[in-house]
Amino acid sequence: MDAAGLLQILVFLALLVALTPLLGGFMARALSGERTLLTPALGPAERGLCRLCGIRPDEEQHWTGYALSLLAFNLLGFLLLYAILRAQAWLPLNPAGLPAVPADLAFNTAVSFMTNTNWQAYGGETTLSHFSQMAGLTVQNFLSSATGIAVLAALVRGFARRSSPTIGNFHSDLIRIVLYVLLPLALVSALVLVWQGVPQTLLAHVDATTVEGGRQVIAQGPVASQVAIKQLGSNGGGFFSINSAHPYENPTPVSNLVEMLFILMIAAALTDSFGRMVGDRRQGWALFAAMAVVLVAGIAVAWWAEAQPNPAFAALGVDPAGGNLEGKEMRFGVVNSALWAVATTAASNGSVNAMHDSFMPLGGLVALVNMLLGEVIFGGVGTGLYGMLLFVIVTVFIAGLMVGRTPEYLGKKIEAREVTLAVLAVLVTPVGVLGLGSLAAVLPVGLASVQDGGPHGLTEILYAYASATGNNGSAFGGYGANTLYQNSVLGLAMLIGRFLVIIPALAVAGSLAAKRAVPASAGTFPTHGALFVGLLVGVILIVGGLTFFPVLALGPVAEQLLLGTGTLF
Amino acid sequence: MIHRSRDIALFDPAILRPAAVSAVAKLDPRQLLRNPVIFVTAAAAALCTVLLVREVVTGAGPVAVPAQIVAWLWFTVLFANFAEAIAEGRGKAQADSLRRTRSETPAKKLATADALAWDMVPAPSLRVGDHVLVETGDLIPGDGDVVSGIATVDESAVTGESAPVIRESGGDRSAVTGGTRVVSDRIVVRITADPGTGFLDRMIALVEGAKRQKTPNEIALTILLVGMTLIFLLVVVTLPAFAGYMGVTVPVVFLCALLVTLIPTTIGGLLSAIGIAGMDRLVRFNVIAKSGRAVEAAGDIDVLLLDKTGTITLGNRQAAEFLPVSGVAERALAETAMLSSLADDTPEGKSIVALARERFALDTAAPAGMNFIPFTAQTRMSGADLPDGTRLRKGAPDSILARAGAHSVTRELTLAVERVAKAGGTPLVVSRNDRVLGVVHLKDIVKPGIRERFNTLRGMGIRTVMITGDNRLTAAAIAAEAGVDDFLAEATPERKLELIRGFQAEGRLVAMCGDGSNDAPALAQADVGVAMNTGTQAAREAGNMVDLESDPTKLIEVVMIGKQLLMSRGALTTFSIANDVAKYFAIIPALFVAALPQLAPLNVMGLSSPESAILSAIIFNALIIVALIPLALKGVAYRPAGAAALLRRNLLVYGLGGLVVPFVGIKAIDLLVTLLGLA
Model pLDDT for residues B310-365, shown as the tens digit of each residue = 677 776 678 888 889 888 888 888 888 888 888 777 778 888 888 888 888 877 77
The residues pairing with A215 across neighbouring beta strands, listed in sequence order, are A209
Query: Inter-chain contact A525–B647, Cβ cutoff 8 Å?
Result: yes
B242 neighbourhood in chain A, CB within 8 Å: 437-438, 441, 458, 550-551, 554-555
Q: Assign B211 to helix, strand or coil.
A: coil
Does residue B666 have a pLDDT over 90?
yes
B455 neighbourhood in chain A, CB within 8 Å: none
Q: How confident is the model at residue B214 (pLDDT cuts 50, 70, 90)?
A: confident
Q: Compute the distance between CA of residue B612 and CA of residue B610 in angstroms, rounded to an integer.
A: 5
In this prediction the ipTM stands at 0.93
Residue of A393, A403, A508 to mutate for B, most B C-beta atoms under 10 A: A403
Q: What is the pLDDT of residues A210-267, one digit of tens each?
A: 888 888 888 888 889 889 999 998 888 777 878 888 999 999 999 999 999 999 999 9
CA dihedral angle for residue A3, residue A6, residue A10, residue A13, rounded to 10 degrees:
170
Element holding B191 (H helix, E strand): strand B187-191
Cβ contact B628:A507 at 8 Å: no
Instruction: Provide CB contacts within 8 A for A297, sequence distance 6+.
Output: none
CA distance A451 to chain B (A): 14
Please tell me which residue of chain B has the smallest CA distance to A520. Answer: B461
CA distance A458 to chain B (A): 7
Of the candidate ranges A30-34, A110-114, A309-313, B547-551, the one whose mean pLDDT is the lowest = B547-551
Residue of B226, B577, B598 to mutate for A, most A C-beta atoms under 10 A: B598
Cβ contact A154:A173 at 8 Å: yes
Cβ contact A367:A359 at 8 Å: yes
Query: Inter-chain contact B239–A551, Cβ cutoff 8 Å?
Result: yes
Q: Which of A410, A488, A138, A322 is nearest to B507 (CA)?
A: A410
Q: Which of B217, B296, B306, B303 is nearest to B508 (CA)?
A: B303
What one-character DSSP code corresponds to residue B601? G
Query: Inter-chain contact B650–A458, Cβ cutoff 8 Å?
Result: no
Q: Is B398 a catalytic residue?
A: no
A220, HSE (Cβ side, Cα atoms, 13 Å): 17
CA distance B621 to chain A (A): 18
Q: How confident is the model at residue B1 (pLDDT cuts 50, 70, 90)?
A: very low
Q: What integer pLDDT is reported at residue A356 of this predicted model? A: 87
Q: Does residue A266 or residue B105 have the better pLDDT?
A: A266
Q: What integer pLDDT is reported at residue A272 of this predicted model? A: 97
Does residue A73 have a pLDDT over 50?
yes
Does residue B195 have a pLDDT over 80?
no
Query: Inter-chain contact A554–B577, Cβ cutoff 8 Å?
Result: no
> Residue A400: which of B460, B564, B570 has the nearest Cβ?
B570
Does residue B532 have a pLDDT over 80?
no
B604 neighbourhood in chain A, CB within 8 Å: none
Burial of B423 (0-12, 13-18, 19+ CB in 10 A): middle
> Residue B246: which of A398, A455, A542 has the nearest Cβ?
A455
> Residue B580: which of A461, A526, A546 has the nearest Cβ?
A546
A543 neighbourhood in chain B, CB within 8 Å: 228, 231, 577
Please tell me which residue of chain A has the smallest CA distance to B458. Answer: A522
Q: Which of A467, A437, A430, A497 is nearest to A115 (CA)?
A: A497
Cβ contact B438:B340 at 8 Å: no
CA distance A373 to chain B (A): 13
B461 neighbourhood in chain A, CB within 8 Å: 521-524
Query: Inter-chain contact B234–A430, Cβ cutoff 8 Å?
Result: yes
Percentage of chain A with pLDDT > 90?
62
Q: Assign A256 to helix, strand or coil.
A: helix
Q: What is the pLDDT of residues B586-616, one digit of tens each?
A: 999 999 988 888 888 899 999 999 999 999 9
Q: What integer pLDDT is reported at residue A317 of this predicted model? A: 76
Give the residue ranges of the annotated binding site of B: 344, 348, 375-382, 394, 515, 519
Q: Compute the distance between CA of residue B224 and CA of residue A427 in angstroms, rounded to an integer.
A: 11
Q: What integer pLDDT is reported at residue B210 of this predicted model? A: 52
Does residue A320 have a pLDDT over 90?
no
Q: How confident is the model at residue B383 (pLDDT cuts 50, 70, 90)?
A: confident
Mean pLDDT of the region A439-450: 90
pTM over 0.80: yes
CA distance A163 to chain B (A): 10
Q: What is the pLDDT of residues A524-542, one digit of tens each?
A: 888 998 999 999 999 999 8
Q: What integer pLDDT is reported at residue A358 of this predicted model? A: 87
Q: Which of B161, B158, B167 is nearest to B102 (CA)?
A: B158
Give the residue ranges of the annotated binding site of B for Mg(2+): 515, 519
What's the length of chain B?
679
CA dihedral angle for residue A466, residue A470, residue A475, residue A477, rounded to 10 degrees:
0
Does residue B2 have a pLDDT over 50?
no
Residue of A159, A405, A420 to mutate for B, most B C-beta atoms under 10 A: A405
Mean pLDDT of the region A486-499: 95
Instruction: Convert B258-271 into a string of H (helix), E (strand) and C (coil).
Output: HHHHHCCHHHHHHH
What's the length of chain A?
569
Q: Which of A42, A17, A37 is nearest to A27 (CA)?
A: A37
Q: How confident is the model at residue B98 (pLDDT cuts 50, 70, 90)?
A: low
Please tell me which residue of chain B has the smallest CA distance to A432. Answer: B234
Please give the sequence-ordered ranges of beta strands (E in DSSP) within B426-532, or none if there are none: 426-432, 435-443, 463-467, 486-488, 510-514, 528-532
Instruction: Read off φ and ψ for residue A29, nearest 5 degrees.
Output: -65, -45
Q: How confident is the model at residue B3 (pLDDT cuts 50, 70, 90)?
A: very low
Query: Inter-chain contact A523–B642, Cβ cutoff 8 Å?
Result: yes
Listed ranges A7-11, B112-116, B200-204; the one with the highest mean pLDDT? A7-11
Q: How confident is the model at residue B235 (pLDDT cuts 50, 70, 90)?
A: very high
Query: Inter-chain contact B235–A543, Cβ cutoff 8 Å?
Result: no
Q: What integer pLDDT is reported at residue B166 of this predicted model? A: 78
Average model confidence (pLDDT) for chain B? 84
Q: How confident is the model at residue A326 (pLDDT cuts 50, 70, 90)?
A: confident
Does residue A464 have a pLDDT over 80?
yes
B599 neighbourhood in chain A, CB within 8 Å: 553, 557-558, 561
Q: Compute the distance between CA of residue B550 and CA of residue B158 in angstroms, rounded to an integer.
A: 12
> Residue B598: which of A399, A555, A558 has the nearest Cβ?
A558
Query: Inter-chain contact A401–B566, Cβ cutoff 8 Å?
Result: yes
Does residue B279 have a pLDDT over 90?
no
Mean pLDDT of the region A22-29: 95
Percentage of chain A with pLDDT > 70?
99
Percentage of chain B with pLDDT > 70?
91
CA distance B2 to chain A (A): 29
CA A136 distance to own-chain centroid: 19
Q: What integer pLDDT is reported at residue B4 of this predicted model? A: 45
Mean pLDDT of the region B78-89: 90
B573 neighbourhood in chain A, CB within 8 Å: 398, 401
Q: Assign B484 to helix, strand or coil.
A: coil
Query: Inter-chain contact B598–A526, Cβ cutoff 8 Å?
Result: no
Cβ contact B442:B426 at 8 Å: yes
Does residue B393 have a pLDDT over 70?
yes
Q: What integer pLDDT is reported at residue A97 of this predicted model? A: 84
CA distance A567 to chain B (A): 11
Mean pLDDT of the region B552-561: 80
Q: How confident is the model at residue B200 (pLDDT cuts 50, 70, 90)?
A: low
Does residue A422 have a pLDDT over 90?
yes
Does residue A553 have a pLDDT over 60?
yes
Q: What integer pLDDT is reported at residue B103 of this predicted model? A: 54
Q: What is the pLDDT of residues A372-387, one digit of tens each?
A: 998 899 999 999 999 9
Instruction: Provide CB contacts within 8 A for A273, sequence distance 6+.
Output: A24, A25, A27, A28, A31, A156, A284
Q: Does residue B413 or residue A73 have the better pLDDT?
A: A73
Please tell me which residue of chain B has the smallest CA distance to A453. Answer: B246
Burial of B670 (0-12, 13-18, 19+ CB in 10 A): buried
Q: Compute the distance between CA of residue B29 and CA of residue B546 in angstroms, rounded to an integer.
A: 37
Does residue A322 have a pLDDT over 50?
yes
> Residue A525: which of B246, B458, B643 has the nearest Cβ?
B643
Query: Inter-chain contact A403–B506, Cβ cutoff 8 Å?
Result: no
Q: Which of B203, B200, B178 is nearest to B189 (CA)?
A: B178
Residue of B242, B464, B646 to mutate for A, most A C-beta atoms under 10 A: B242
Q: Which residues of A285-304 are buried (b: 16+ CB within 10 A; e: fewer)?
A: bbbbbbbbbbbebbbebbbb
Catalytic residue, chosen from B154, B201, B307, B470, is B307
Of the candidate ranges A99-108, A291-300, A481-490, B328-337, the one whose mean pLDDT is the lowest = B328-337
Give the residue ranges of the annotated binding site of B for ATP: 344, 348, 375-382, 394
CA dihedral angle for residue A267, residue A271, residue A276, residue A278, rounded to 10 degrees:
120
Query: Inter-chain contact A405–B643, Cβ cutoff 8 Å?
Result: yes
Q: How confident is the model at residue A149 (pLDDT cuts 50, 70, 90)?
A: very high
Does residue B394 have a pLDDT over 50?
yes
Q: What is the pLDDT of residues B459-516, one digit of tens each?
A: 778 888 988 877 788 788 888 888 889 999 888 878 888 999 999 888 888 998 877 6
Q: What integer pLDDT is reported at residue B203 of this predicted model? A: 66
Does residue A158 have a pLDDT over 90?
yes
Cβ contact B440:B431 at 8 Å: no
